Amino acid sequence: MTNRPYPIILNPILMSKVWGGRGLSRLGKKLPHDGPFGESWELADLASTSSSGGGGGAARSVIANGPLAGRTIHDALTMWGRGLLGEARPTPDGAIPLLIKFLDAKENLSVQVHPSPAYAAAHPGSDLKTECWIILDAAPGSCIYKGVRSGVTPESFRRSIDHGTVAEHLVRVPAVVGECHNLPSGTCHALGAGVLVAEVQTPSDTTFRVFDWGRTGRELHVEQALECIDFSEAPPATCLKPGQGRATLVQTEFFRVDRVRTESPIDAGRGMSAWIVIEGEGRVTGGDHPVAFDPVRVARGDTFVIPSGCAVSSRLEPDRSFDVVRVEPA
């Protein structure tokens, strides 16, 4: 045990999904058998999950390194408190205010929406779920569905559900590797077949399924969804442009997402941050500062957390180069 915060690598929580494939193995995930795996929960601190999302029960990431190896990230939060979170706000039930995943869609995900602010306020237990997708790989011709088309009304959208023509009323966006799509709570969306993404979101597992592409056996939530869908235009995509070493992809009231591509060391900054290694490998060190943690090796597909208590002295040092995503909770 240690009361001194140090950078922690998190073990993935693998989720079998009917729409998943084997693409998570390209990110270094050791898939246990030949079934379809759609999600790898990289950073999670949920006391409970839905039966259709996290399978029911708690979903809390287990630490892979250092004195707290084998304990959960919630244990680290209990022990370190502000030494982990810094000035970030915990969830109302005292948990880490982020959920980070990888998603591998071999088939289309269901068309879905998460609770809008108004719906969440009126229905205790239905939490907001604002998220973003960073596209890591995309098959030729693949797409995502993001928001409803201009002119679509709640009435016409309901008719499209009844007639099985929902896709015709959604904005179809080509999947472009490197682009980031912000999906505020209330945005109707679906990940298309052949797309692999990193997903950053608020820690909610509440999803209302609108349309499931003819698949049977999974519950739809039409009435709840229609109460939540925002019929205005969704935010545009962002990306790290050629020649840029760093860019903010998304900034919301809940989190900020930056992408950094460099051959030089990266200062961790202040406050708690979660990092996703998209490409490259290297180590997290104390830089030029005397700190009480051993260097931590990280590689493609790893997700790790730098606690607030050691952030100022922490630095990412690539072996050759790094392409990483930095997530900072609000």
Q: How far apart are CA 107 and CA 109, in angstroms?
A: 6
Q: How far apart are CA 326 and CA 7, in angstroms?
A: 14
Task: Output the CA torsion sign for 291, 292, 294, 298.
Answer: negative
Q: Where are the alpha helices (DSSP H) in 197-287?
A: 222-228
CB atoms within 10 A of CB 263: 11
CA distances from 135 to 41, 78, 138, 237 (A): 16, 34, 7, 11
Q: How far apart are CA 284 and CA 303, in angstroms?
A: 12
Q: How far apart are CA 211 and CA 230, in angstroms?
A: 16
Catalytic entry in 60, 209, 315, 326: 209
Max Cα distance, the chain (Å): 65
Composition of the chain by helix, strand, coil, percent to 5? 15, 40, 50
Q: Is 209 a catalytic residue?
A: yes
CB atoms within 10 A of CB 237: 19
Annotated catalytic sites, by residue? Answer: 209
